[in-house]
Amino acid sequence: MRLRDHKLVDILMVGFIVVVLALVWHFKRTNSVVTAAEVPKNTLTAGPQIAGCPIFPADNVWNTPIAGAKRDEHSDAYVRNIGVDKPLHPNFGSDPGNGIPITIIKPSVKYVKIKFLYSDESDQGNYPMSSDALIEGGPNSPLDSDRHIIMVDEGRCMLIEVGGVVKQPDGSWTAGAGIKMDLTSNALRPDGKTSTDAAGLPVLPGLLRYEDITAGEVRHALRFTVPKTQRAFVWPARHFASRIEDPGYPPMGQRFRLKADVDISGYSKENQIILKGLKKYGMILSDNGSPWFLVGAPDKRWNDEDLHKLGGIKGTDFEAVDESDWQMHADSGRVDPMSLK
């Protein structure tokens, strides 16, 4: 073979290699986009997690700090109508009947039909009603109480919440309402729809868990109640539960924070974690109830006597914040990243 032929072969080989490498790069690039279901559960978010699942994405409004958010112009009126001298009350503790428990559901649990009193407000389909699911207040709690069951299907990363649950003598279940939400998604409930909360919000993301204490930081907003609310709701809430049209009362979904200058140095390490969280992430008005009632999950590790000392924080120590420019899409809980710059 002549030298010229050798050079031609070399050129063709180099060209062939370049084409192969280009095809490999293109294949990897076009196949690198995967769905949420294909991503390992523990890499979906840097926000709070449960059972290996995110409690909504890190950019969800529940998981976004509000320390730098602007003060709401109605803050003074809101606090006055809730109660300036009313104490912060931890509505949870070491007693299993004090707080709202969480049940982790295995993929093997059978989904069954539930008869809902408010079927038009509930998500249709079957629910994983395990016989050992934890009921708020215990299985013998009054039938006219909230009787929440909060479940996380760890195989599907799905949140299931049912309120007013009663197991019937024949083994079937009835309830007031029920919702199912994808924990990997920012999607909200349909506009105008309630949930097991009056505000149409999920309960789980606002529960204070002892895992927040062991993590050393509360990285999400908390859920709280007030006696009287306005006949209105603000994002991310989807529903109101009041006839009061006075703008001096807070609407459902209104967010509050502990003022930055409130001295918390005299509180225990555990209580300081809670109070720092209230300064950084605040709390979202989710339901009608008692003033400044902070809701959490029961856990035998809570020190009830120490939690009671949080009553040293009064209504006047809080202020309402304005999140109106955070909303990127009405049906999404994702915070507009441009609004945080």
> Can you tell me the distance from the alpha carbon of 56 to that of 59, in angstroms, rounded to the nearest whole number?
8
Q: What is the pLDDT of residue 252?
A: 98
Kindly tell me if the per-residue pLDDT of 24 is higher than 70: no
pLDDT value of residue 35: 36
Q: Tell me the domain boundaries of the chain.
A: 3-33, 49-340
Question: Looking at this protein, which amino acid is placed at residue 252?
Answer: M
Query: What pLDDT shows up at residue 114?
Result: 95
Mean pLDDT score, 81-105: 97
Q: Which residue has the higher pLDDT, 340 or 31?
A: 340
**Residue 75 in this model has a pLDDT that exceeds 90:** yes
Is residue 2 over pLDDT 80? no
Model pLDDT, residue 132: 86
What is the full DSSP assignment across 171-194? S-EEESEEEEEETT--BPPPTT--
Q: Please, which pLDDT band fits residue 130 given cuts at 50, 70 and 90?
A: confident
- Predicted structure pTM score: 0.85
Compare 33 and 124 and report the one with higher pLDDT. Answer: 124
9 compared with 260, residue with greater pLDDT: 260
Query: What's the longest Cα–Cα distance across the chain?
Result: 99
What's the mean pLDDT in 149-156? 96
The answer to whether the CB of 78 falls within 8 A of the CB of 314 is no
For residue 52, name the pLDDT band (cuts at 50, 70, 90): very high
Question: Is the pLDDT assigned to residue 239 strictly greater than 70?
Answer: yes
Q: Which tokens belong to 5?
A: 């032929």
Tens digits of per-residue pLDDT, 195-225?
999 999 999 999 999 999 999 999 999 999 9
The string of pLDDT tens digits covering residues 287-312 is 999 999 999 999 999 999 999 999 99
Q: 271: pLDDT confidence band, cut at 50, 70 and 90? A: very high
pLDDT at 127: 96
Query: Which strands make up the sheet holding 222-226, listed edge to edge?
Result: 89-91, 293-295, 222-226, 283-288, 255-258, 318-321
Average pLDDT, whole number, for the chain? 89
Is residue 294 within 8 Å of residue 88, measured between CB atoms?
yes
CB 73 within 8 A of CB 322: yes
Residue type, 301: R
pLDDT of residue 4: 43
Mean pLDDT of 75-100: 98
CA distance 160 to 104: 10
Count of beta carbons in the 10 Å neighbourhood of residue 268: 13
| 313-331 mean pLDDT | 96
| DSSP symbol at 98 | S
pLDDT band at 22 (very low <50, low <70, confident <90, very high): very low
- pLDDT above 70 coverage of the chain, percent: 87
Greater confidence (21 vs 286) lies with 286
Rounded Cα distance between 29 and 31, Å, is: 5
Closest CA to 340 of 49, 67, 37, 52: 67
List the single range of 4-18, 102-116, 166-180, 226-240 with lowest mean pLDDT. Answer: 4-18
Query: For residue 154, what pLDDT band results from cuts at 50, 70 and 90?
Result: very high
